[in-house]
Amino acid sequence: MVRAFLFYLLLISLSFSVEILSETLRTDEKGNLIAEGKVKVIHRDYVIEADRVRYVPRTREVFAEGNVRVRSRDGRLEVRGSQAYMDLRKGTGYFLNAEGRFREFYFTAKRIDRVGRDTFIFRDGDVTTCPPEDKEMKVCFSRAKFTGRYVFSLSNTLRFFRIPILYSPFVMFPVGERRSGLLPPIIGTNTYNDIIYIQPVYWAISEDRDATVTLDIRNRQANGIWLEYRQAFYPGENLFFRTSYYKEPTPPGEWWEGRNLKTFREDRFRVELSFRRGGWDLGIDVPSDPYFFEDVYFSQKLRTLPYTVNLLTYRRSEDDYMLFLNTRVFYDLTSDDNRRTLNLLPELTFYSKPKRVWKGYVSLTSSFTNFYREEGLRARRLLFLPEYEVFTEILGVRNYTRIRLISNLYFISGEEGYQDRVVSFLLEDRVHTFRDLSLGPLDLSNTLELVYTFSPENFNNPQFDGYDAVVRENNVRLRFRSTTLFKGRTLSTLFLEGGYNLLRSYRFPTDGTLVEKPLLPFRAILSVTPLGWATITEDLIYDPNLNILARSVSSLSLRGGLGNLSVSYVVSRNSVNRRVSDQYTVRGNLILKGITLSLTATYDNIRKKELSRSMSFGYRGACWSFKVSFRRTFYADKREYFNEVFFAFNLFNLKEFTLPLRRR
């Protein structure tokens, strides 16, 4: 009660600007307030805790000592030390022998001076993202100024396990989520360059716009510059633009060996644009040559990109219909000649959403598509596909019936022998029944489905997409799904499918050859997890008429606390029982006290060659990591292997950088 009374008296005397809680509170001969024992001072956005606090009401100064702790109410800042001083009128003060945290950064300093509301000066300290008890990597400095937006630091030393490895007399970098300034650079070397230096400069224009200028300097390959601009409109609606320009040295360097010299460009570029707003989606991605990605980028995903696409799409969705406009132009990066690449110029689709009619629902899909290429088969296609669906349930048995009318009109050029008009229909009926069983700790969930499909005629029409697959069917299929659980854990899953074609014909699963037999291919998928850490899976398609195992995918997966290992074998055959694929793949990784090891290898039994192999070794420290990766890839067109070595590192858990060390 006394503590609360003194607390409220103090609130009145300070005009509600400062709150003080303590075990004892008294006034000295000068009129200063002395608080002792678990003292807590609350002022605006900060809370000060200490063993002893002296407050001077006349000058509004606070002196704290003994286990001093200052923290912000939003939790972003926390500092501990031996002594602290604050001038509440000027918003200034100091902190001695400080250590603390600002966001994800931990710091120490012999002295911290607050010279403004958001401006601090640190003297003789260090900063890191490692935990305070395990500072394996840190940056030491003699003096640093923090303005709330930037840090200016003098005499900086990067220490790794207390060993100095890098020195910089001056560093300036932005802090917070969006600040203009220099971003971390990429510095390295590779097979063709003794030095690579990539420096991005970031400009935070406004809350919804920013830009980046990146300089890419290499001593032998092309030097380049990137210009990027980004703008947000609404969630999911934005604008992104980037143009990259590189000046390739002449004559062509050794990295052009084995390439088609007709693709060589002294001025190399890439133009990218992405615009999404109001249902419109515009995308442009134009490289100067098919080898631009391979020579400029370091990530495997970009270096092996198979194609780029320029697109213009529009989508409008209303209560009763959906409208799509789709235009796509592809650039094949795997070929020196783009003349046979198929494009959509354009595709217009109208979809009428299901409407209740009698006991079912009627919908309509209609579209016009121009499949265009400079050389080879091309066509204009008009689709009209009305559909009727009915759902019923009798005595727990569910029935779904669908009938689709098919009317496809083709205007074909480039080749002959195709029909100009496809008129047919597809009838599908599915009957579902469910049965669950419990046998002690075992729970079984079973589904039986009878599927009937009918389509009266085959058409030798070009196969541009799935809508062109109109084949003769009068099929009855039986599907069985079962899941077994042991004490709530999945023990096994099983899928079986077989059928009979009353029209005595079907397409072979792998090559699409027409087979004049009644029995449909049989498919089985079995997955067993007997011990929780091991899974065995078999997925096969067997043709009983030709006695051919069309496809088999066998895999074994082992999981443990230190890593996992998987082995898979894939083999497929065509309708004349000739192997079209036959490959083994092994994948594994191991994690042991921060050390990571991984291995992936694929061997092709048809080519009698190892198609790819990748190995990596890495280590993850308290706030840093590195990884060395080796990749060996067989390029069938060049009939040779390419070996690549990459080094990836991450400092202070901020960003991972990947550098190529060798490629040939």
Quick one: which of 177, 278, 179, 284 has its CA closest to 233? 278
Question: Which pLDDT belongs to residue 9?
Answer: 36
CB-based burial, 227-262: b 16+ in 10 Å, e otherwise: ebbbbeeeeeeebebbebbbebeeeeeebeeebeee
The residues, ordered by sequence, that sit 6+ positions from 215 with a Cβ below 8 Å of its Cβ are: 197, 198, 199, 201, 224, 225
Measured CA to CA, the distance from residue 195 to residue 200 in angstroms comes to 17
Question: Which pLDDT belongs to residue 634?
Answer: 84
Structural tokens at position 615: 């190995």
Question: Which pLDDT belongs to residue 482?
Answer: 96
Element (H, E) at 242: strand 237-247
Report in angstroms the alpha-carbon separations of 467 from 204, 408, 428.
Answer: 47, 9, 16
Question: Which pLDDT belongs to residue 8?
Answer: 37
Q: Where are the alpha helices (DSSP H) in 144-229?
A: none
Question: Which pLDDT belongs to residue 22?
Answer: 87
Structural tokens at position 438: 């419990």
2-182, CATH topology level: lipopolysaccharide transport protein A fold (2.60.450)
Is 0.85 surpassed by the pTM of this model?
A: no
Residues found in the chain: 664
Place of tokens 């016009």: 368
Report in angstroms the alpha-carbon separations of 358 from 355, 388, 390, 391, 403.
Answer: 10, 11, 9, 12, 15
Measured CA to CA, the distance from residue 176 to residue 489 in angstroms comes to 45
Measured CA to CA, the distance from residue 146 to residue 120 in angstroms comes to 5
Rounded to 5 degrees, φ, ψ at 3 are -60, -45
Average pLDDT per run of 10 along the chain, which is 664 residues long?
37 54 87 90 85 90 91 87 89 91 89 86 92 90 86 91 90 70 76 87 90 95 96 93 96 86 93 95 96 86 89 95 96 88 95 93 97 94 96 87 95 87 94 89 93 89 88 91 92 96 87 89 96 94 96 96 94 96 96 94 94 93 90 76 81 74 60
Question: Which pLDDT belongs to residue 573?
Answer: 97
Question: Which pLDDT belongs to residue 638?
Answer: 65
Rounded to 5 degrees, φ, ψ at 265 are -135, 130
Rounded to 5 degrees, φ, ψ at 377 are -65, 130
Name the DSSP class of 520.
P
Q: What residue spans define the domains of the chain?
A: 2-182, 193-332, 342-503, 510-587, 593-664
Q: Which long-range contacts (CB under 8 A, 24 or more apart) does 32-40 make?
A: 32/56, 32/57, 33/57, 39/64
Measured CA to CA, the distance from residue 233 to residue 277 in angstroms comes to 8
What's the burial of 162, exposed, middle or buried (CB within 10 Å: 0-12/13-18/19+)?
exposed
Name the DSSP class of 118.
S
Q: How far is CA 482 from the centre of its chain?
A: 33
